[in-house]
Structure 1
Amino acid sequence: MSSSEDMSEEPTAQVVLEASGIRKSFAGVHALRGVDFRLRAGEVHALVGENGAGKSTLIKVLTGVYQPDDGELRYLGEPVSFARPAAAQDAGISTVYQEVNLVPSMSVAHNLYLGREPRSRFGLVDFRGMRRDAGNLLEDLGIDVDPRRQLGSLGLGVQQMVAVARAVSTDARVVIMDEPTSSLEPREVETLFQLVRRLHERDVAVVYVSHRMEELFRICDAVTVLRDGRLVHSGPMYEMTRLELVATMLGRPLNEVRREGTTAFGGDHETGSTALLRATGLSRRGVLGAVDLSVKPGEVLGLGGLLGSGRSETVKGLVGLQSLDAGVIEVDGRTVRRGSAASAIRAGVVLVPEDRKAEGIIPHLSVRENIVLAALPRLSRAGIVSRARQDKVVATFMERLRIKASSPEQKVNELSGGNQQKVMLARWLAMSPKVLLLDEPTRGIDVGAKAEVQSLVDDLAEQGLGIVLVSSDLEELVEGADRIVVLKDGSSVAVLTGSDVSVDGVMSAIAEGGTDE
């Protein structure tokens, strides 16, 4: 990767990919409004903006998923028009999407070479050779996984690394990475950064989309900022501070962002003395050892720990989506039947899952249908669902959560990631829950949408909900939680309160694995 000094020494590096005056609209909504973008060889270029700013649309135009309504693309100096993603990939533009877009039922090796499998002289797939080549590639990239393993049996973080390895293996001139670290633990993030360095050394250009400021300022040479489908800034990364970048993304004065940045999300909520939700001895062989936790009304309880520590499995166990071998779950002092999602929902416990694409939204249904899905029985009389009551609920939550859509009838898969996340929140808030379980609620959404979700969580806690917050972002976890239960190897190893609710406190608890309560 180029440092700021490197960039000043190499101002004439070849422009490998250029977009000029790109426009794109959907159902009357302008996603891109005359956007320009220029990417140079060997450059790591950050593409940032709030959800709905046009980042994903621009990426899809660059890679042939969408055709622009107006404007021009040039690749290696020549005008191009990619009719489909395969054409862009064949030309040397490879994409790693935020949500892993591979085949979970196939092996790691087959996913790496899907569509370009090595063949024997008889034209048959050379599976042995494919596994050998896959093993060599993974070893070279520092990814420790058996190429024979079924991809779907691996964690999201490992699947993401396989997706990155596939992109790197295509000898691309351009690699586009859309939130590549959203599912990775720190060790895997370092492996990814090593891959980016290798791409830089080979003069491969990287478009890097991330909402993690530390990553952007650590590895990116240049930055392009989009807002409301328009280009608002493009230039060297070293010319901007973090606050300036956030202010540019939000379109707010710098002093206003600085003032807002001093107020931590979460804080000390007024909490009752009686646990609203209490879980003791949650266990499942090979997954959870012994997890204990409790949540009071108006409290935000954080679940900390590395990927694989059992955070997601714990919240899924609480809501009946993960079977448990043992343990007791109580809501308002009443026992909830283990392994029963219906029992959990009746008790008022709901979950917004980590993987919104696979476990949350129904992509081809409308925003309205996705929001009212869980609440339909409550909106019906004598078995007839009232459309008027649906519309009232949908209008209330679209306004409350500031969901950006052309109308309630717009397909939810046409929305930005942040707005899809808000639709999932709206679905479960429409059930008037007592306990809200949030698994990576701000994963892959921009600064503005993240702030809105965090503010909403704060408001819900003030209204008396008990909230369990899972986040891989330790700063977000610390700022958002009143207490933190730290998990390690499937067991709760510490409960942090007061001044111990800190990044250092969480890391120390993970490292030491002891208990302090």
Structure 2
Amino acid sequence: MADRHVPDFGGPDFRGPDFGGLAIRDLVIAPGASPIRQAIAPGEIVGLAGLDGHGQELFLKMLAGLAPPLGGSIVLDLPGGGGKITGFRKAVSSGIAYLPRDRRANGIFPTQSVLDNFAVSTLSRDTRLGLISPAARRARYDIYREKLSIVAPRPDAPITTLSGGNQQKVLLARALALEPAILLLNDPTRGVDVATRHVLYDVFRGLASDGMGLVILSSEIEEILLLCHRVLVFRENEVAAEIAGQALTTDTVISAMFGRAA
């Protein structure tokens, strides 16, 4: 249920010329595992792959502050100094947004409207003179509805009336409304139709072009090959391989997942 806790943090747009990226320093995600040293640069899309249960999802959740590491640290290089991630609240307030894997269990609030699901994490941005402004909320929602091509009958409709793909777009809009420097995506196209997938792909590429760093865990190798500049392949709770450039192929990723030479 930790994924469902989406408090209102507000805050500035963290992207800017002084944002230096996300540093993962000697991170240990399981007993006996080798420490992980990585950096996510602004504008970079990094993929996470591996067989189920080999640590890639745990690693992503640690970046989001949803699981404590056994050792090491995660630091955002922000204007004016660094920000060490010590939990989910700190991650979000520092400039990290997370999109959960299971939108039904950990993402949507099924009894709430489309608009309420969108605005729940950023209520303070719609406040005028201490009161929530419905017009401001609606105007902000409309911006993201257009950007993500969200198809919804009306903002006050129950979110459960939307297709799975449009529910996912609302959750992505909620994450983007935080204006993060780093976006963490846990299998973001799981259970959505082909047309929605390609809309999301274009959005992810556009965000990277604008300077946002993205980390994408995907259960589909083809998706990783399409989107990512480089891929970290996890095996037994360690980064077994880092693959980029011309070496980034289906064969090399699968070989690394099974501990074989390509």
Question: Normalising to structure 1: TM-score of the pair?
Answer: 0.45
Tell me what 2:112 maps to: 365
- Correspondence for 2:208: 461
Is the contact made by 1:493 and 1:513 (CA closer than 8 Å) also made in structure 2? no
* 8 Å CA contact 2:28, 2:71 repeated in 1: yes
Q: Provide, for residues 182-206 of structure 1, a one-character-per-residue CA deviation record: whole Å limited to 9, x for no partner.
A: xxxxxxxxxxxxxxxxxxxxxxxxx
1:337 paired with 2:82, answer: no
CA shift, 1:417, in A, is 0.7
Contact 1:297–1:464 (CA<8 Å) still a contact in 2?
A: yes
Q: Which runs of 4+ in 1 moved over 4 A?
A: 286-289
Q: CA 1:313–1:383 in 2, change beyond 3 Å: closer, same or farther?
A: farther
Amino acid at match of 2:174: R
**C-alpha spacing 1:321/1:288, structure 2 compared with 1 (3 Å):** farther
Deviations 1:39-96 (A, max 9, x none): xxxxxxxxxxxxxxxxxxxxxxxxxxxxxxxxxxxxxxxxxxxxxxxxxxxxxxxxxx
Work out whether residues 379 and 386 of structure 1, in 8 Å CA contact, stay in contact via their aligned partners in 2: yes
Q: How many residues align?
A: 241
**AA of the residue aligned to 2:93:** R
Tell whether 2:140 aligns with 1:393.
Answer: yes
Secondary structure of the residue aligned to 2:225 is helix
Equivalent of 1:403, from 145, 150, 155? 150
Pick the aligned partner of 2:222 from 471, 475, 494: 475
The alignment partner of 1:278 has SS state of strand
Partner of 1:443: 190
Q: Name the counterpart of 1:307.
A: 52
Tell me whether 1:293 sits opposite 2:38 in the alignment. yes
Deviation (angstroms), 1:307: 1.0
Percent of residue pairs identical: 34
CA distance in 1, matches of 2:32, 2:207: 31
Kindly indicate whether the alpha-carbon contact (under 8 Å) linking 1:366 and 1:411 is maintained by their aligned counterparts in 2: yes
3-state DSSP of counterpart to 1:368: helix
Q: 1:368 to 1:313 in 2, by over 3 A?
A: same
Partner SS for 1:346: helix
- Which of 1 and 2 has higher RCO (CA within 8 Å, sep 6+)? 2
CA distance in structure 1 between the aligned counterparts of 2:158 and 2:99, rounded to whole angstroms? 19
Is the Cα contact below 8 Å between 1:436 and 1:467 reproduced in 2? yes
Alignment of 1:347 with 2:117, yes or no, is no
- Using the alignment, how far apart are the partners of 1:488 and 1:415 within structure 2? 37
Could you tell me how far 1:275 is from its partner in structure 2? 4.9
Report what 1:319 is aligned to.
64
1:406-425 matches, within 5 Å, as 406-425=153-172
Q: CA deviation at 1:378?
A: 2.6
- Structure 1 distance, partners of 2:33, 2:113, is 37
Letter in 2 for 1:510: M
- For the aligned residues, what is the CA RMSD? 2.0
Shift of 1:383: 3.4
Change (3 A) 1:361 1:288: farther
1:508 — aligned with what?
255
Q: Secondary structure at the match of 1:304?
A: strand
* 8 Å contact from structure 2 (residues 31, 70) kept in 1: no
Match of 1:119 in 2: none
3-state DSSP of counterpart to 2:43: coil
Change (3 A) 1:507 1:406: same
Distance 1:408 1:286, change over 3 A: farther
Greater mean alpha carbon deviation, residues 443-452 or residues 485-494: 485-494
**In the alignment, residue 330 of structure 1 is paired with which amino acid?**
V
Deviation at 1:398, TM superposition (A): 1.1
Contact 2:64 2:96 in 1 (8 A): yes
Answer yes or no: is the 8 Å Cα contact 1:293–1:485 preserved in 2: no
Unaligned stretches of 5+ in structure 2? 1-16
Matches for 1:160-199 after TM superposition, within 5 Å:
none
Per-residue CA distance 1:448-498 (angstroms, 9 max, x = gap):
011111111011111110000110100111111001111111111211111
Residue type of the partner of 1:471? S
SS at match of 2:183: strand
The letter of the residue matching 1:461 is: A
Equivalent residue, structure 1, for 2:21: 276
Alignment CA distance shift 1:383-1:293 (3 Å): farther
Larger radius of gyration: 1
- Displacement of 1:513 in angstroms is 6.8
2: distance between equivalents of 1:288 and 1:354? 24
